[in-house]
Amino acid sequence: MKNKFSIPLIIVGLRLCAWSQVQSGTLIAVTSSPDEIVVAADSRTHDGTRYVDNHCKISTFGNKVIFAAAGFTGEGPLAGPAYWSVQAIARRQFDRFSGKNARPYSVVAFANAWGKATEIKIQRLLDRHTITRETITDKSNVITNSVFAGFGKPGKVSIVLANMLYETNKGRGISKFSVQQIVNEPGGEEEMGHTEVVNQIQGGNLALIREMAQDRDRLPSGFDLLAFYMIEMVKLSIKHQAGVMINGIRVETIGGPIDAVRLSRSGGIEWINRKDNCPAN
């Protein structure tokens, strides 16, 4: 099954914080070939009672790096502009790395700079508010999952997972940053979080496999198969998700339009699907 479909890295986040901008139930799918990286994501954000389907979960930088984040991603009203966001922090760090007289940098260095800056922001938030572990993290004590994707040397890709983790010290909530370069060879895969539908496909669920095959048969000639599988993973997860129970009400935590972007070694960034409210670069 995995060899046939090359199931990708999947990141899922679930957060319920009414006082902050929340990226809840996020699904981000990432995979690569020697000369191409594709990232796809849904658009739903909710605070446990309401949701919007216009969130921009994927950002691109300088025609060379893709960034996507799940989980707690900033402070602000659900449907309004954030007071600060992990995407804006990533933008500032990229601008710093790309400024005049800047030295060459790696995707890992970019992720580390983002992590240190984000750790400070989240720690200030934890110090200002009484926030329980359950409020801001998932079951693995992850506050924010993010992925940075770019190319390394010829034949290599650099996909870096950067997590913000919640710890306690003498009753005080502590934000800790963890970074891991998880893919050096193209085509690597990993599944994380509440990946129920993806796990069913990998486990050989015939109904889902047939549905994927039918969708593939309807593709226009020449459509990028890597992009198809990333979009399909998000699409099927939206359609077949079990949702979660919140105050006795079933909430579908993944939804809205699917954004997808491709980074090629020769051509740079190319958006496959992008909402009008999301920046191109």
Q: Does pLDDT of 10 surpass 60?
A: yes
Residue 193 banded pLDDT, cuts 50, 70, 90:
low
Domain count for the chain: 1
In a domain, 278, yes or no: no
pLDDT at 116: 92
Q: Does pLDDT of 16 surpass 90?
A: no
To the question of pTM greater than 0.85 for the whole model, the response is yes
Cβ–Cβ under 8 Å, residues 23 and 73:
yes
pLDDT at 2: 45
In a domain, 281, yes or no: no
Q: What is the mean pLDDT of residues 260-267?
A: 94
In a domain, 24, yes or no: yes
> pLDDT tens across 120-157, in order?
988 888 887 766 666 666 667 787 888 999 998 888 88
Q: How far is the C-alpha of 21 from the C-alpha of 98, rounded, in Å?
A: 28
In a domain, 187, yes or no: yes
Instruction: Extract the tokens encoding 239.
Output: 């359609």
In a domain, 58, yes or no: yes
pLDDT at 111: 92
pLDDT at 185: 72
pLDDT at 205: 94
Of residues 20 and 54, the one with the higher pLDDT is 54
Range of the domain at 213: 2-273
Nearest to 163 by CA among 173, 152, 148: 148
Percentage of the residues of the chain whose pLDDT score is greater than 70: 79
Q: Does pLDDT of 74 surpass 90?
A: no
Q: Does pLDDT of 1 surpass 50?
A: no
Cβ–Cβ under 8 Å, residues 248 and 43:
no
Cβ–Cβ under 8 Å, residues 253 and 57:
no
pLDDT at 206: 96
In a domain, 190, yes or no: yes
In a domain, 81, yes or no: yes
pLDDT at 209: 95
For residue 147, what is the domain's CATH number? 3.60.20.10
